[in-house]
Amino acid sequence: MKLLTTNFLTCAIKACKSSSASFPLHFKDAVLERTEIEFNPLFMRNILPRVNWEALTVTATELGLQAMVPEKNPEQGGVQKEDGIDEDVLKNLHTLLLETGVSEGKLVCGNCGFEYPIKEGVGNFLLPAHLV
């Protein structure tokens, strides 16, 4: 499961929908993997406005990858050159968001504590009948 994907996930339990603690989901017992993907600066420039920077910072810190995240979102004037975002910053974010993934572990809701298992890089977001 790529870190970019986790930036868009929230707890599926109805009671958590109104709680800000249900986002971002927090990793537990995460096994990281890196898969090289061709760098596409245009894609990175287009996806950055959609990334929740605060959630990305929390996730990267929990996984020990905080050094890969600039202090400020480059889209909001963090690290820019005259012609746009610094390409080195884009490459670091590409590595973090697209090449770094979690192959095994759990995503845990900060509100209710429900754990969503991750096996072979795929998260299981099906809820038991009593939680639907």
46-102 per-position pLDDT tens digit? 999 999 999 999 999 999 999 999 888 887 655 455 456 788 999 999 999 999 999
Instruction: Give just the sign of the alpha carbon dihedral 71, 73, 76, 79.
Output: positive
Residue type, 103: S
**Within 10 A of 7 (CB to CB), how many other CB atoms are there?**
19
* CATH topology (fold) of 3-124: N-terminal domain of TfIIb (2.20.25)
Q: How far is CA 130 from CA 10, 14, 15, 40, 127, in A?
A: 19, 11, 12, 43, 8
pLDDT digits (tens, 9 = 90+) for 22-42: 999 999 999 999 999 999 999
Position 131 scores a pLDDT of 85
Of the listed ranges 5-9, 71-75, 119-123, the one predicted with least confidence: 71-75
